[in-house]
Amino acid sequence: MGGHSNWPEWIYIGVVVALMCWVGAEAWEAERLVEHVPEDAETIIVTGQQWFWTFEHEDGTKEIGELHVEVGKAYKFEIHSKDVNHAFNIHDYVVLMDAIPGRVNTVWFAPTDAGEHDIQCREYCGLIHYNMRGTLIVEEPKA
């Protein structure tokens, strides 16, 4: 036997395994945070149809093309489609979820600042797809 030592290889393997465990734990934590909907989140039913969005709040209030929400509250969107595939997108809040006929997809968010934000369809859904937009209006809580 020569003077060859395996220690550098074992150290390299140990560092790689430790990095893989750290990246896996971070990914698991990020996934848990994204999928954990707060218990007090208000559910809003979002329906995509050629070529507009409708929103229905828990109290039965319906809105077309505009969605009013309050700062500091959590909202869970149940996303439906009446006709073809759409994609519900609020770019400023990194909300993006497909709307598929016959299926309900969910996503949640909690707005932090008052203001207006664009809502767009991100899936080509027909000739007037470019005009399938809406407005998210984030308001201060009512006293």
What are the backbone dihedrals phi and psi of residue 45, each rounded to the nearest 5 degrees, phi first?
-85, 120
Q: What is the mean pLDDT of the chain?
A: 94
Contact between 88 and 120 under an 8 Å Cβ cutoff? The reply is no
Write down the pTM of the prediction: 0.79
End-to-end CA distance of the chain: 82
What is d(CA 101, CA 85) in angstroms, rounded to the nearest whole number? 7
40-57 residue pLDDT tens: 999 999 999 999 999 999
Which CATH superfamily, name and number, covers 42-139? Cupredoxins -  blue copper proteins (2.60.40.420)
2 band by pLDDT with thresholds 50, 70 and 90? low
Domain boundaries, the chain: 1-36, 42-139
**With 90 as the cut, is the pLDDT of residue 118 above it?**
yes
